[in-house]
Structure 1
Amino acid sequence: IESKHDHVAINALMRCKSRQKVQAFMSIAMPPFTAKQLHETLGEVLEAYEKRYGPIEKEAGRL
């Protein structure tokens, strides 16, 4: 995590519980990211989220 802004963005992303919310958040908060960076970051965030809060609801789907 590079900066305070990134930290805030990641925290907000971790609170997103549905695919739609995550996609909406990503489009607003992190437009400079490449698709590959986005995918890698999101994978790490979702992994961290599930470790901390348990599995994401099945109906939310996967990215």
Structure 2
Amino acid sequence: MLKGIQTVHPSVENQAEPLQLSRLAQVDDWLGSAIAAARERGDRADELRHRSDRALILLGFWRG
């Protein structure tokens, strides 16, 4: 049944453009400055959120 649906309604997967190293560096720099700003404000929640985002992006890029 699923093969028949796929035959009648073919779907084309759209691929995202690959992340360029320069863009990754920009994101990393921005997150680093956001971490520093949150630390200066004493906003521990924002600091942890930005650290988590930075770790996920860098780990995801490294594993990719």
TM-score of the aligned structures, taking structure 1 as reference length: 0.37
Structure whose CA Rg is larger = 2
Which structure is higher in RCO with an 8 Å CA cutoff and minimum separation 6? 1
TM-score of the aligned structures, taking structure 2 as reference length: 0.36
